[in-house]
């Protein structure tokens, strides 16, 4: 059974048709939209501030979503894929974003819509990622503008695949 716990009397709220892996952890002030999935060993920790997730968000294996006490919330839009072992901390991620495996997005960063954060990238505190771009490296820098093929072929494909994968476990 997944660990889904209240913190200071605030219970996580899950949308309709969500998949939560048996060893995932979701605690505290977390509100999740419809069609989301939180995969094996992933942690969504709304204990020190709030986490808001839109519809069709997948939090892949080992990823961590957290915030900073009394300073930063985490807000995630619709159709977002958070790759294996990524860390998303106290930031805003707009709609239609792919955060690659092992990437780190720090406090007060803002990831614009239709963007990709490459695997292993470190988006420093306060960084503003323009919509429709790819950021990579340590620290993450703009690599190029994103093509429509990447939006449909990567961002949308991965988000849709995770809806399918979740269906295998229901």
pLDDT in tens, 13-35: 999 999 999 999 999 999 999 99
Q: What percent of the chain has pLDDT over 90?
A: 95
Asked if residue 63 lies in contact with residue 41, where contact means CB atoms within 8 angstroms, the answer is no
* pLDDT score of 90 more than 90: yes
Asked if residue 29 lies in contact with residue 74, where contact means CB atoms within 8 angstroms, the answer is no
CATH architecture assignment, domain 3-168: 3 Solenoid (2.160)
* pLDDT score of 170 more than 90: no
Cα distance between residue 137 and residue 121, in whole Å: 5
pLDDT at position 152? 83
Asked if residue 25 lies in contact with residue 43, where contact means CB atoms within 8 angstroms, the answer is yes
**Entry pTM:** 0.97
Structural domain boundaries in the chain: 3-168
What length is written for the chain? 170
Calculate the alpha carbon distances from 91 to 40, 95, 101, 112, 126 in Å: 23, 13, 17, 11, 9
């Amino acid at each position: 059974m997944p660990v889904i716990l209240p913190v200071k009397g605030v219970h996580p709220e899950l949308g309709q048709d969500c998949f939560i892996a048996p060893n995932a952890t979701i605690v505290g002030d977390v509100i999740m939209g419809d069609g989301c999935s939180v995969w094996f060993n992933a942690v969504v920790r709304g204990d020190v501030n709030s986490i808001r997730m839109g519809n069709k968000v997948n939090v892949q294996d080992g990823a961590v979503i957290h915030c900073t006490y009394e300073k930063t919330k985490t807000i995630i839009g619709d159709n977002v894929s958070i790759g294996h072992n990524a860390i998303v901390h106290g930031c805003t991620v707009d709609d239609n974003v792919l955060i690659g495996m092992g990437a780190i997005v720090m406090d007060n960063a803002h990831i614009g819509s239709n963007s990709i954060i490459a695997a292993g990238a470190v988006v420093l505190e306060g960084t503003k990622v323009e919509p429709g771009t790819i950021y990579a490296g340590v620290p993450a820098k703009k690599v190029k503008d994103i093509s429509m093929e990447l939006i449909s072929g990567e961002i949308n494909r991965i988000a849709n695949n995770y809806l399918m994968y979740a269906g295998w476990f229901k």
